Amino acid sequence: MTAKRKDDSLSDYRHKRDFRKTAEPAGGAEPRAAIRKRRKRAAATKRSGLRFVIQKHQATSLHFDLRLEAGGVLKSWAVPKGLSLDPANKRLAMEVEDHPLEYGEFEGTIPKDEYGGGTVMIWDRGTYFADEAAGAIDDDAEIRREHEQGKISFFLEGERLRGSFALVRTDRGPKPKWLVIKHRDEHVSRDHDPVDECDTSVVTGRTMAEIAREESENELARESIAPMRAEKAKTLPAGRDWVYEELRDGTRVFAYITPGSRALVAEDGSTNRRFDAIADELGALADRAGRGFVLDGVVTHMPSSGLAYVVSDIVYDDGDVVLDEPWTDRRARIESLFRRRRVPRVRLAEVRRRAGPALEKHARSKGWVGIVAKRAGSPYRPGQHSSDWRRVGCS
Ligand code: MN
């Protein structure tokens, strides 16, 4: 197969994805020499060495993606129930666009708003053979021929699945439907269902929840977050979609409290030993609550109690990056995190619902340096000056 045809075959795949946003491979990364070398090695062992992978994919709905290497790409099917070792179970397999070979290595998360958004686990992998390709016939050519004809017989040698299977096309058209069926051989099993029994990655041993959690933590650690900023305003906006939050004089600080880190980091990237006591209290809170989180707030000096962390926002909570949630939902998360838990050096920024002279009087009496009006439905936009947040100083 020529390079051009291979590229054409992946154009659907590339079209559906924005590679600036997703960590999935764009394809074309495996050098030609590496492919040749792998083929040569396979030839030396007589049979093909074609690769297969089954990825468990929690997108809008949970399914298993069966991918068979052929013609320099991964022919791909979404199998809602996964493969069965019982020949009586004919499983629906919807053919989807060809994927690049490197996709077989992909495990992680696809951003929520992107194509196929969700968590991907490498559920099984190995090599496979064309059942019909005996000796002289090349497996790759045979699989492509059978794919064209709509009936593929193949033998999987995976870590979890072994044995002979058939893919049979039942419906052509833009979204071809197939059935995947276990052939009768010594690997048939009626009382052993790998889909139910195996819920971890064959590569990393992680569950779906662990993959999702670690990926979002890595995401935050990679690019430590920049604070969202308020626009300066002369007067506070009024109306029911606004709330009014306490602003303290001090250092803007993110608290990264996840299983991998317990750090308070100022917006210039610095940390400070003086923050340690606060970090320890938040670490203990994470242990008690059984969840990691990243908070936005201000470390300030309170006349009565010394150094304190006044929390105004949350950007990561219990495995989820929550930037896109409305302010009201993020606030509810913080309130639930701190509810009935004693964290002496930390408190939530006070929020009031109405602007006006009473608010200004209250702010002055409490020693606020200003008031931030926040639009209740607004997301958190890291590093941006947004008109969804407006700041007025207290005179
Ligand atoms: Mn999928």
| Averaged pLDDT, 292-296 | 94
In the reported structure, the alpha carbon of residue 63 is separated from the centroid of ligand 1 by a whole-number distance in angstroms of 7
In the reported structure, the alpha carbon of residue 91 is separated from the centroid of ligand 1 by a whole-number distance in angstroms of 16
* Beta pairing partners, 180: 91, 167
| Averaged pLDDT, 194-219 | 88
In the reported structure, the alpha carbon of residue 104 is separated from the centroid of ligand 1 by a whole-number distance in angstroms of 12
In the reported structure, the alpha carbon of residue 79 is separated from the centroid of ligand 1 by a whole-number distance in angstroms of 9
Sequential DSSP letters for 51-111: EEEEEEEESSSEEEEEEEEETTEEEEEEETT---S-TT--EEEEEEEEE-GGGGG--EEE-
In the reported structure, the alpha carbon of residue 60 is separated from the centroid of ligand 1 by a whole-number distance in angstroms of 9
In the reported structure, the alpha carbon of residue 186 is separated from the centroid of ligand 1 by a whole-number distance in angstroms of 30
What pLDDT score was predicted for residue 225? 83
192: CB partners within 8 A, 6+ apart: 85
In the reported structure, the alpha carbon of residue 54 is separated from the centroid of ligand 1 by a whole-number distance in angstroms of 10
In the reported structure, the alpha carbon of residue 259 is separated from the centroid of ligand 1 by a whole-number distance in angstroms of 29
Residue 8 confidence class, pLDDT cut points 50, 70, 90: confident
Which pair of tokens denotes residue 264? 């308070």
CA-CA distance, 211 to 131, in Å (whole number)? 35
Neighbours of ion ligand 1 (CB under 5 A): 57, 65
In the reported structure, the alpha carbon of residue 30 is separated from the centroid of ligand 1 by a whole-number distance in angstroms of 22
Model's pTM, two decimal places? 0.63
Location of structure tokens 């041993």: 205
In the reported structure, the alpha carbon of residue 221 is separated from the centroid of ligand 1 by a whole-number distance in angstroms of 27
What pLDDT score was predicted for residue 269? 82
Question: Of 255-269, 309-323, 333-347, 369-383, which range is least confident?
Answer: 255-269
Cα angle, residue 323 at apex, residues 322 and 329 outer, rounded to 5° = 60
| Averaged pLDDT, 33-55 | 67
210: CB partners within 8 A, 6+ apart: none
